[in-house]
Amino acid sequence: MDPDALHSSPVMMTGVKYHSQDEKSEYLYQTVEQKPSAPVSQSAEGQSSAQRESLWKRTSLLFISLWIITLISLITTLGLYYTQSFVVQREVQEQQRNSSTHNTELQKQLGEKEQENSQLQKQLGEKEQEKSQLQKQLEGKEKENSQLQKQLGEKEQENSQMQKQLREKEQEISQLQKQLEGKEKEKSQLQKQLGGKEQKNSQLQKQLGGKEQENSQLQKQLEDKEQENSQLQKQLGEKEQEKSQLQKQLEGKEKENSQGGMESSLNQ
pLDDT along the chain (268 residues), means of 10: 40 43 50 45 68 85 88 86 80 68 72 86 88 88 86 85 85 78 65 72 79 73 64 78 88 83 66
CA angle 13, 60, 124 (to 5 degrees): 45
Quote the pTM value: 0.24
Instruction: Report how far residue 243's alpha carbon sits from residue 163's, in angstroms, rounded to the nearest whole number.
Output: 10
Q: How far is CA 201 from CA 124, 142, 192, 208, in A?
A: 67, 42, 14, 10
* pLDDT value of position 6: 38
Q: How far apart are the C-alpha atoms of 145 and 228, rounded to whole Å?
A: 8
Taking the CB of residue 32, how many other CB atoms lie within 10 A of it? 15
- The domains of the chain are located at 3-35+45-142, 171-179+189-210+241-268
Q: What is the pLDDT of residue 267?
A: 65
